[in-house]
Structure 1
Amino acid sequence: MLTYPLSGSSSELVLNVLSMVLSQGKPLDRAYSQHFSGLKLASDEQARITFVVGDILRRLNLYCYVVDIEAENFERVGSKLLNGWHYFHQLDFPKMKYSLQVDTKELDERIEQAKTHPALWDGCPQWLDDLGAQQLGGKWPAERSALALAPKRFIRVNELKCDKQQLIARLAKESVTAIEVNGVESALEITSNSALFRTDCFKDGWFEQQDAGSQLVANAVNAKPGMRVIDACAGAGGKTLHIAAQMQGKGRLLAMDVEQWKLDNLKTRAKRAAAHNVETRIIASSKTIKRLKLSADRVLLDVPCSGLGVLKRNPDAKWRDTPERLPVLVELQKTILQSYSRMVKVDGMLIYATCSIMPQENSEQVARFLKENPHFTLVDEEHIYVADHGFDGFYLARMRRIEA
């Protein structure tokens, strides 16, 4: 949380990043990359900028309501929104070159009005509030509130290069404070505002930035040295590298995806992490899957999903997504689960995972699959809720193939 207002230059950066997201429809990570590239910002100042941007996006409709503007008009009234945000958090107004003023008496009245609307206070758009209530019932209000909070920073210790205590000690020498995380052996929480990616620890591959909830998914794979493991929706490869560490570099770990650029990035990350048993393969057609039929001890399906468990970290998604997208994703998940499960050998394990908290994508999807595929049986499942753990939200289910 800020204790003093943003500087003029930082205010301009916040407005530029938000404009790129809200007016141009660009993803938040791309907006950060474009505006921070080439700037030599102090790590604490960059942290302040990302905190303000993130908080505004997590509760965008609330702050727009307070200052009585429409997000669609951000390009024209962004400075008013930033002034309102400062007032809301009891900070002096930032000194911007051009700034639309606010009426503090009117802001006080609208803040009190907003408190009577819980979904608005939590920064939740109507479509998401309706969906959450339908899917999660009485559990939704706590999840909705938790998704409005700033995410904690977690990293995963790369046990191919160091152990947890060695990493904590080396990070401390680089002015990075890290503490252990209860219940997640491979995770550390970063409690300082340090620029992690500038550290020698990161450059030497001693850790990866990865949410603690995400690490629980890879833990569920429980890969052993010498196994044949397939991460069939590898993406950027965070879970792939975690599995490689479980395998101690022994055995075969095949990372697959439908997009080559993601696999190319994974190769670079694997080299830095000393994950030498990682092999990448593009999924060019259904034949790629058929050739691997009944071949793997473990298959991880971290399927494309709504991402509604990671809105703390990706708050711009709330204002870009629509409820119409979910049925399309559910159908895609069903197709992937049915097709890719063929790669699991008898007595092997299939791990299905999403970064969503919605049953439609999770337990309901798995129940349908098991009903249609009696040669698999459920071993266990885990719902990683945001309000319960403070991590991002995830779901995982482990299923064993009992016959071909």
Structure 2
Amino acid sequence: MLTSSLSASSTELVINILALVLEEGKPLDRAYSHNFSGLKLAAEEQAKITWVTGDLLRRLNLYCYLADVKTDEIERTGSRLLNVWHRFNDLPLPNLQYALKVDETEYLIRLEKAKGDEALWDGCPEWLDEMGSQQLGEAWPRERKALLQAPKRYLRCNTLKNSPDELQAVLLKESVETVPVDGVEGALEVLSNSALFKTEAFKAGRFEQQDAGSQQIASVVDAKPGMRVIDACAGAGGKTLSIAAQMEGKGRLLAMDVEQWKLDNLKQRARRAGAHNVETRIIASSKTIKRLKLSADRVLLDVPCSGLGVLKRNPDSKWRDTPERFPVLVDLQKQILQSYSRMVKVGGILVYATCSIMTEENRAQVDQFLADNEHFEFIEDELISPADTGFDGFYYAKLKRISE
């Protein structure tokens, strides 16, 4: 939570970032990169900018309603939006030379009306509120409110290089204060507002920044030294590196994806982490999967999904995505689960995972797969609830292959 107003220059940066996201459709991380590139911003000021931008996006429809501005006109009307944000948070208005003023009477009228609309107050677009109500029923309002909160920062201790206690001590010397996370082995919550990626500990590969819920998904794989493990939708490899640590660097860990640039990034991260048993492979066609039939002790399918469990961390997706994309993703998940499950050997374990909390992407997918595949049996599943844990939202199901 901010205790002081943004400077005029930082306010302009926030407006520029929002315009790129909302008017040009750029992902938030790329909008940050575009605007921060070449600037010599103090770490504290950059943190303030990202905090305000994130908060605005988490409740964008509320702030736009209070300011009476449209999301596709942020470049022109962003100054009034930022004035309303400061007013809402009881902060002095930023000292902008040219700014659209806020009518105090109109603002107070709109504020009272907004308090009567729970979904609007929680920063939830209508399409998402309808979907959440349909899929989660009475549990949805709690999850909706939890997804409104700012995300905490978590680290995963890289046990290939140090223990959690050793990491805490090393980080403290660099003015990074952390505490262990209950129930998530090797996870640390960062309490200080520190530039983590500039620390010597990060450069030495002692940790990765990873949500505690995501760390739980990786731990479910339960990979042992000497096993053959496949992370078939590896992306940039956060879970891959966690699995490598489980394996103590022994055995074969194959990280696969359909995008080469993600695998290239993973190679760099693996080198820094000392995860020498990680091998990357592009999925060029269905033949890539067929060649690995019945070969793996463990297969993790962290499938493409709506991301509706990680809206705290990626709030821009609420405003860039549309409900029409959802059934396309559900169909893709079904295809991946059906095809990639062939890589699990008899007696091996398949872990299906998403960063969504929606039933249709989670248990419904698993139930349908089991109905269509008598070669697998259900072991367990869990929804990692943002409302219950404070983490990002994830789901996993653990299945065992019992026959060819």
TM-score normalised by the chain length of structure 2:
0.99
Are the counterparts in 1 of residues 16 and 75 from structure 2 also a CA contact under 8 Å? no
SS of the equivalent of 2:352 reads strand
Deviations 1:283-338 (A, max 9, x none): 11111111111000000000000000001100000001111111110110000000
Task: Output one character per residue of 1:350-404: Cα deviation in whole Å (capped at 9) or x when no partner.
Answer: 0000000000000000000001001100110010011110000000000000111
1:39 CA displacement: 2.2
Give unmatched runs, 5+ long, in structure 2: none
Say if 2:210 is the partner of 1:210.
yes
Report the equivalent of 2:273: 273
Q: How does 1:88-127 map to 2 (within 5 A)?
A: 88-127=88-127
Task: Determine the structure 2 residue equivalent to 1:340.
Answer: 340
Could you tell me whether the CA contact under 8 Å between 2:236 and 2:262 is conserved in 1? Answer: yes
1:185-200 equivalences under 5 Å are 185-200=185-200
What RMSD, in angstroms, separates the aligned Cα atoms of the two structures? 0.7
C-alpha separation in 2, matches of 1:260 and 1:69: 40
In the alignment, the residues of structure 1 paired with residue 47 and residue 326 of structure 2 have an alpha-carbon distance, to the nearest angstrom, of: 33
Q: Does 1:374 align with 2:374?
A: yes
Pairing 1:86-165 to 2, within 5 Å after superposition:
86-165=86-165
Equivalent position amino acid for 2:2 in 1: L
Q: Corresponding residue for 1:15?
A: 15
1:244 match = 244
Paired with 1:382 and 1:84, the residues of 2 have a C-alpha distance of 40
Alignment of 1:7-46 (within 5 A): 7-46=7-46
Secondary structure at the aligned position of 1:319 is classed as helix
Task: Quote the Cα distance in structure 2 between the aligned partners of 1:46 and 1:96.
Answer: 19
Aligned-partner SS, 2:10: helix
Tell me which residue corresponds to 1:67: 67
The residue correspondences of 1:228-267 to structure 2 (distance < 5 A) are 228-267=228-267
Counterparts of 1:33 and 1:159 in 2: how far apart (Å)? 31
* Count of aligned residue pairs for this structure pair: 404
Q: CA deviation at 1:193?
A: 1.0
4+ long deviations beyond 6 Å: none
Structure 1 residue 98: Cα displacement? 1.8
* Partners of 1:231 and 1:374 in 2: CA distance: 23
Identity %: 69
Displacement of 1:66? 0.6
Give the corresponding residue for 2:305: 305
1:222 is aligned to 222
1:50 partnered with 2:50: yes
How far apart in 2 are the matches of 1:111 and 1:194? 35
Structure 1 residue 265: Cα displacement: 0.6
How big is the shift at 1:133?
0.2
1:98-136 CA-to-partner distances (Å, cap 9, x unmatched) read 211111222122111100000000000000000000000
Structure 1: any 5+ residue segments left out of the alignment? none
Identify the range of structure 1 (35-44 vs 126-135) with the bigger mean alpha-carbon deviation: 35-44
Equivalent position amino acid for 1:158 in 2: N
Distance in 2 (alpha carbons) for counterparts of 1:93 and 1:170? 40
TM-score, length-scaled by structure 1 = 0.99
Deviation for aligned residue 1:22: 1.2
- For residue 31 of structure 1, give the secondary structure of its aligned residue in structure 2: helix
Q: Post-superposition shift, 1:38?
A: 2.5
Supply the AA of the counterpart residue of 1:61.
Answer: N
Distance in 2 of aligned mates of 1:289 and 1:382: 27
Partner of residue 317, structure 1: 317
Aligned AA for 2:107?
Answer: L
Q: What displacement does 1:96 show?
A: 1.6
Helix, strand or coil at the partner of 1:360: helix
Cα deviations by residue, 1:266-294 (Å, 9 ceiling, x for unpaired): 00000000000000001111111111110
* Counterpart secondary structure, 1:315: coil
| Offset of residue 209 of structure 1 | 0.7
Q: SS at 1:188's partner residue? A: strand
In structure 2, the residue corresponding to 1:353 is in which secondary structure?
strand
Q: Kindly provide the CA deviation profile for residues 18-69 of structure 1, in whole angstroms up to 9, marking residues without a partner as x.
A: 1111111110000111112222222221111111000000000000011111
Distance across 2 between alignment mates of 1:272 and 1:219: 21
Q: Which residue of 2 aligns with 1:171?
A: 171
Is 1:286 aligned to 2:276, yes or no?
Answer: no
What secondary structure sits across from 1:261 in the alignment? helix
- Give a deviation string over 1:136-176, Cα, whole Å, max 9, x none: 00000011111111000111100101110111111111111
2:18 match: secondary structure: helix
CA displacement, residues 204-256 of structure 1 (integer Å, 9 cap, x when unaligned): 11111100000000000000000000000000000000000000000000000
CA shift, 1:12, in A, is 1.4
